[in-house]
Amino acid sequence: MKRETWLPATPAGARAARSLVREAAAEAGLEGEPAWDLMLATTEAVANAVTHGKTWPNDCILFVTAPCPRGLSVQVCDLGTFDSALEPAPLEATSGRGMQIIAALVDRLEVTSGDGQTLVRFEKHRARLPQQATATSRSRRVRAA
């Protein structure tokens, strides 16, 4: 089920986001490590919105979870801008790695910025069952022949 909510731009907002993702992940069939990955990616996205973005007039950020065909989608939206030409953080830096962490944890990541808004959207997919992977491999071989 799709859920949209306003989260306060505070540490409590990040806690609420993790709780919402945990529940939505379970409903989408994501458990264990994939659910933890999604919760960590969510924490990073919310922290980035709070730290680098700009809240909506209600002093919140918009947070959305929704099922996607292969798992769960999460969206974090604020009124800030995003520099898509980010350089890797220097080794001695104590911040600046949030987007790289998110990218490493999720199966799909999109960042759009424009019209005064930044939207970070990412997905985590359910693991394929060995039977599904074998069927997919066979169908690829047949098409390649």
pLDDT for residue 94: 72
Question: Three-state secondary structure along the chain?
Answer: CCEEEEEECCHHHHHHHHHHHHHHHHHCCCCCHHHHHHHHHHHHHHHHHHHHCCCCCCCEEEEEEEEECCEEEEEEEECCCCCCCCCCCCCCCCCCCHHHHHHHHCCEEEEEEECCEEEEEEEEECCCCHHHHHHHHHHHHHHHC
What does the pLDDT profile of the chain (145 residues) look like in tens digits? 999 999 999 989 999 999 999 999 999 999 999 999 999 999 999 999 999 899 999 999 999 999 999 999 999 999 998 876 566 777 887 777 888 899 999 999 999 998 899 999 999 999 876 555 444 443 333 333 3
pTM here? 0.83
| Residue range(s) defining the domain that contains residue 103 | 3-144
| Structural domains counted in the chain | 1
Task: Give the CATH number for residue 139.
Answer: 3.30.565.10
